[in-house]
Chains A and B, each alone.
Chain A
Amino acid sequence: MSSSPPTAPPQAPVAEPEGRPPGPSAPLRVLALLRNTWRGLTSMRTALILLFLLALAALPGALLPQRSLNQQLVDQYFTDYPTLAPILDKGGFFDVFATPWFAAIYLLLMISLIGCLVPRNLDFVRAVRSDPVATPRNLARLPHHATATLDEDADAVLARVRGLLGGNRLRAWQRAERDEAGGVRTVSAEKGRLREAGNLVFHLSLVGLLVGLAVGKLFGYEGQVIVLSGGSQFCNSSILGYDSFRAGLRVDGTQLEPFCVRVDDFTADYLPNGQPESFRAQLGYQTAEDVEAGDTTRWTPYDLQVNHPLRVDGARVYLLGHGYAPRFTVTWPDGQQRTGQIQWRPVDMTTMLSEGATKFERPGVTDPAQRQTSQIAVTGLFAPTSSGGQVITSVYPDLRNPQVAVDVLRGDLGLDDGRGQSIFSVDQTQIDSGALTRVARSNLLPGESVTLDDGTRVRFDDVTPWVSLQVSHDPGQDTVLVFAILLLAGLGTSLAVKRRRFWVRLVPAADGRTEVRLGGLARTDQAGYGEEFDRLRAAILGVADPPSEPSDPHHQPESSGTPGTGDPTGATDRGDT
């Protein structure tokens, strides 16, 4: 856009109004502005700047905590930097990849790319059909050139050139032979047009990739759910079944594929030092079709492992994590019993020491006031392999010697006041207010129980592992994969293929001799044409390279180990431009 030369000012007043013909009409000016904007936008320089901006804009996504990855870290950041964090938050820095400014950059890049590629594409199609360009008048001006007078006639040289440039199909040059005045004959050769094709495939794949990503963002979803092993089921029938759910922009949860999963068993193997070696969950599953057919007995088995998701009905089911769910039975003095089992969460991933709260209501109590004195919570720690002793901890992640260290609380759990509460703990305010009091504390092995003051018995029955599953659906990911592969193929092609031009001019000289002039030009940035040109030159001119042992690197212009400059024709030869 800054197309006016910097030296303009002095002359500027001269060109002012009066004698000047009326300027272009407003619509034309707008058109010119649009055209200039478009040219600016699709220029290589703009692409470069936008690429920089893209790289720069992505960086905060790595350096600042991101909501999409870890909300807790974001909260922590807010407490650590109370003044800075809200400002950053306004700019969307905790959700970089969902911000309008990030989207603006990549969309501009895509527009620039399409605007850049369409004309290129047309040029490319034209170029593929046309002959290599005519031989320039003065070959000596090219970066690579050589001249020699040979004792052969033009036909002999021409035959050799054809042979050299023909070669096998793939490596062949495209050639055109032309006659000039005075019996001068020329050969123009070009190769590497595939490079252009590769470049186009590469850039167009970027657009395709973005489309695939967009489809995933719109129509994909991801949900997590915890399922107890030992036969519990989960069905993908509605969002409500999930513990957490992230829906794509066009997903309202009514169109999920209603397949079902049953977790039959979970096993974890650990090394002696407690490092996990493998996790596997034995699943049975029913596809949406099975479910619709109403056949509830047919469960297809699947061995779910980390790195081996179950792929069913366009969704994937992953094994994300696991933990333990201790089971407790409360027996009231009147003989009534309730059994409760809910997941406790690991607090130490290496020993799987877990914490949680299993909550009970006394059966048959309907009076609200009475309910608020009789609710029971069993809360504390669970150790899969207990250290034993008064204060237990876990020493190993596997179920070798399970034990719980629990407080039994009785009173009002505060479940009725409408606020949601954590399933892993009791409401501390209820304890603080005295509505909930501790009535027992004990370490229990499976089968052991503790008796409360009123005769109620709380027994630790046993423990069942739970698994946390993730169900993901991304209808765009196959598209993304296909374009990623195309992108790679295009990139490889365009970087490997060298686009080169080579010209020969044969000028008849006296005594049936022929003056041979060669010229070479590398069309695109590709180092190393020098050597190839040297090879062609040697083969055509038949000049053996002088035996030169490189004694000092500086004597070698191509720095490539091909000692090639000291030829008798005195041709200069340097790197590509």
Chain B
Amino acid sequence: MPIDPVLAAYSDDFYIGAVAVYVLAMFLHAFEFVGSRKPVRVKSLVATTGDDVASSGADVPAAPTGRTRSDRFGRMAVAVTIVGLAVHVGAIVLRGFATERWPLGNMYEFTSAICLAAVVCWLVVLRRSPALRPVGAFVLTPVLILMFLGGTVLYADAAPVVPALQSYWLAIHVTTVTVASGLLMVAGVASILYLLVKAGKAGKLTAKLPDAEALDRLAYRVTVVGFPIYTFAVIAGAIWAESAWGRFWGWDPKETVAFVAWVVYAAYLHARATSGWRTTGAPWINVVGFATIVFNLFFINMVVAGLHSYAGLG
């Protein structure tokens, strides 16, 4: 399997390009926040709870027709995010062609793909619920952090993978893990924002953020898509392990933490159905769930030795 150095170099350029474009989108979101603030509305929203939502919609007169500057910045941010996404896809596809394999063979590539999944998920959410747009800045923040880490600490040159990774289960397992991680990242961000808004810690941002319930709903809706994908990914991993390592489950550190994360998300769904936990406990559990996934991706790969540790570092 020869590596095409030219394509690999282009892939790297695209990656940097994608980061730059996402940074631009972040700035536009920031302008969206500072753009126009409407103190009137801030007041009516602080006390927003269930029933008030509708009444606040009725009481506060709709904003004058024509777009505010803030709104324009928000729209530009979304458009720029889409451009970033296109460049990002280019980076990943070129990696695949450069190495002639599925471009998910080391931590740099996983991280990049997780970010891609998160951005795609975000744009899909946005299509269905445009009102959530101000959340974009907070989705892009972890994406940029991860992509920065990916491009620096985790970066691995384009290379073929060891024999244990040469299986179509690689594509199935790792792709679904990354997709699920990307989705759960968006859900985790929504839950964190929910908790901040609820605790009144979001300060001035509260005025711009969607109300707490909308955030909670976003977290739940994305989780119920991400969780079954994650479940599938774990099962696919077990099937692959059965043919690659001689057993379908061996409590390898990576497997163990994947199990822990899975149980945490199961607990999240249970908490949603348990009175007294639905609105207070559940979002915390969702955050813990995503923390577990991040922990699995970084700590387990980089610190704890296990079968999964050949993810392209060192």
* Interfacial residues, chain A to chain B (CB-CB below 8 A): 44-45, 47-48, 51-52, 54-55, 58-59, 61-63, 66, 68-70, 73, 96-97, 213, 222, 271, 275-279, 305-309, 316, 318, 320, 470, 472, 474, 477, 480-481, 484-485, 487-488, 491-492, 495-496, 524-525, 527-528, 548-561, 565-566, 572-575, 577
Contact = CB atoms under 8 A, between A and B. Distances in A.
Smallest CB-CB A-B distances: 6 pairs:
A559-B214, A551-B63, A553-B131, A527-B217, A62-B256, A557-B53
A47 B272 CA distance: 13
Given A55-B264, A477-B248, 8 more contacts: A62-B256, A66-B251, A277-B1, A279-B163, A480-B248, A551-B64, A552-B62, A560-B131
Given A55-B264, A58-B263, A565-B54, A48 B256 contact: no
B267 A488 contact: no
B271 interface: yes
Contact of B250 (A69, A528, A559): A69
B235 A275 contact: no
A561 B1 CA distance: 48
A318 B246 contact: yes
Nearest to A48: B270
Contacts of A68: 250-251
B93 interface: no
Given A275-B159, A557-B53, A51 B231 contact: no
A115 to B, nearest CB: 15
B231 A61 contact: no
B176 to A, nearest CB: 11
A487 B267 contact: no
A56 B146 CA distance: 27
A69 B251 contact: yes
Nearest to B207: A554
Interface string B284-314: 0000000000000000100011100000000
A431 B38 CA distance: 87
Contact of A58 (B243, B256, B277): B256
Find the residue from A51, A487, A495 having the highest chain B CB count within 10 A.
A51
B160 A560 contact: no
Contacts of A307: 163-164, 166-167, 169, 243-244
Find the residue from B63, B246, B278 having the highest chain A CB count within 10 A: B246
B272 A556 contact: no
B132 A559 contact: yes
Interface in B33-48: 38, 41, 44-45
A134 to B, nearest CB: 25
Contact of A561 (B130, B239, B306): B130
**What is the predominant secondary structure among interface residues of chain B facing chain A?**
helix
A275 B162 contact: yes
Interface string B231-258: 1100100110011111111111110110
A63 B246 CA distance: 23
A528 B235 CA distance: 29
A550 B130 CA distance: 9
Nearest to B277: A48
12 contacts: A45-B276, A54-B263, A68-B251, A276-B163, A279-B163, A307-B166, A308-B243, A477-B248, A551-B62, A554-B211, A560-B129, A560-B131
Contacts of B280: none
A470 B51 CA distance: 64
Interface size class of B (residues with CB under 8 A): 35 or more
Nearest to B63: A551
Contacts of B270: 44, 47-48, 51
Interface stretch (B9-17, B22-30, B196-204, B218-226): B218-226
Nearest to B232: A488
B278 A525 contact: yes
A553 B304 contact: no
Contacts of A320: 246
Contacts of A548: 62
Nearest to A317: B246
A484 B278 contact: no
A552 B54 contact: no
Given A66-B251, A68-B251, A527 B221 contact: yes
A480 B169 CA distance: 18
A481 B269 CA distance: 24
A283 to B, nearest CB: 16
Nearest to A474: B247
Contacts of A525: 220, 272-273, 278
A365 to B, nearest CB: 43
B228 A491 contact: yes
A528 to B, nearest CB: 7
Given A51-B263, A527-B217, A472 B58 contact: no
A472 B220 contact: no
B227 interface: yes
B89 to A, nearest CB: 25
B55 interface: yes
Nearest to B209: A553
A488 B233 CA distance: 10
- Highest count of chain B CB atoms <10 Å: which of A58, A318, A474, A552: A552
B259 interface: yes
A553 B51 contact: no
Contacts of B224: 495-496
Contacts of A552: 38, 41, 62-63
A63 to B, nearest CB: 7
Nearest to A95: B251
B231 A488 contact: yes
Nearest to B254: A62
A477 B64 CA distance: 64
A396 to B, nearest CB: 16
Contact of B235 (A73, A488, A556, A558): A488
Given A69-B251, A307-B166, A484-B235, A62 B260 contact: yes
Contact of B260 (A55, A222, A276, A480): A55
A309 B224 CA distance: 36
Contacts of B67: 551
A306 B253 CA distance: 21
Nearest to A143: B50
B100 interface: no
